Structure 1
Amino acid sequence: MTKPKQLNEFENVYDFLNRVRLHPEGWVRHGSLTHLGAMLAGYRVAMAVYNAEEDFPFWTPGNLSPFDAWLGLRNGGLNAQGWAVAIEREAEAIDTPAIELFFTLLDQFRAERQQPAR
């Protein structure tokens, strides 16, 4: 098993999300994807402040994010409230923890974009 990266070793948002995946209860209050979405929005703001360039599919100011667009195609329509609410609703309908469903969908999204999941 590979040792998880430390915060100062993160190279991109996927490193951060992989760390969250390992210990979601330590990062995301009550497994809420709304909280995770807020954290990712903060990550995106920090990218803008520091002029950081990286693939960031979760929030694009003024535009539909790639993850929202992908999820909308998968689900047959966009959710005006965003990916976090859409996944939380789907998770509730299938009686699965939302954070677990998020990571399943994230792996599918990345596989379709031909990016390594881990």
Structure 2
Amino acid sequence: MPKPFDELRNVYDVLEHVRLRPGMFVSNGSLDELALVLSGYGLALQVHGVDEGFDLGQVGPFAQWLSWTHGWSMVRGWTAAIEENCGDVPPLEAFFRLLDEWRASLASDQEAVSGP
């Protein structure tokens, strides 16, 4: 069940809404439309001076991780890289699978740094 909008804490909460109800946010599972939503989110953070550590820009840490772990070119951003390499998997589904992998790798990196 999605949280009410006034209870969302960060971009990952917003993305959970997209995952649960993609048709409300992006038509036809378009990664380009998702990137526009995320760009607007990142811009709102800047305008309002919120330091959330937004990592999902077309050339940000998420894109770098995709390039390093999958060897994909990021010349046209992560949206194009996912679309070009997702095979038969719908691009939005591939995005969420990759996002989950990336977040899991961040969590394991954080655990390694902080120790048990």
Q: TM-score range by the shorter chain?
A: 0.7 to 0.9
Cα offset for 1:85? 0.9
Does the 8 Å contact 1:31/1:98 carry over to 2? yes
Residue identity (%): 41
Does the 8 Å contact 1:69/1:78 carry over to 2? no
Determine if the alignment matches structure 1 residue 95 to structure 2 residue 104: no
Determine if the alignment matches structure 1 residue 58 to structure 2 residue 56: yes
Return the alpha-carbon distance in structure 2 between the equivalents of residues 89 and 25 of structure 1: 22
- The structure showing larger relative contact order (alpha-carbon pairs under 8 Å, at least 6 residues apart) is 1
Using the size of structure 2 for normalisation, the TM-score is 0.87
Return the alpha-carbon distance in structure 1 between the equivalents of residues 57 and 72 of structure 2: 18
Kindly provide the amino acid, as one letter, of the partner of residue 78 in structure 1. S
Paired residue total: 108
Name whichever structure is richer in helix by fraction: 2
Kindly provide the amino acid, as one letter, of the partner of residue 84 in structure 1. T
Kindly provide the amino acid, as one letter, of the partner of residue 27 in structure 1. F
Return the alpha-carbon distance in structure 2 between the equivalents of residues 103 and 55 of structure 1: 19
Does the 8 Å contact 2:72/2:81 carry over to 1? no
Cα offset for 1:35? 0.7
Kindly provide the amino acid, as one letter, of the partner of residue 31 in structure 1. G
Kindly provide the amino acid, as one letter, of the partner of residue 16 in structure 2. N
Return the alpha-carbon distance in structure 2 between the equivalents of residues 6 and 88 of structure 1: 31
Using the size of structure 1 for normalisation, the TM-score is 0.85
Return the alpha-carbon distance in structure 2 between the equivalents of residues 6 and 105 of structure 1: 25
RMSD after superposition: 1.5
Cα offset for 1:30? 1.0
Higher mean Cα deviation, 28-37 or 70-79? 70-79
Does the 8 Å contact 2:63/2:78 carry over to 1? yes
In the alignment, structure 2 segments of 5+ residues that lack a partner are 109-116
Q: Residues 55-94 of structure 1: matches in 2 within 5 Å?
A: 55-59=53-57, 64-91=59-86, 94=87
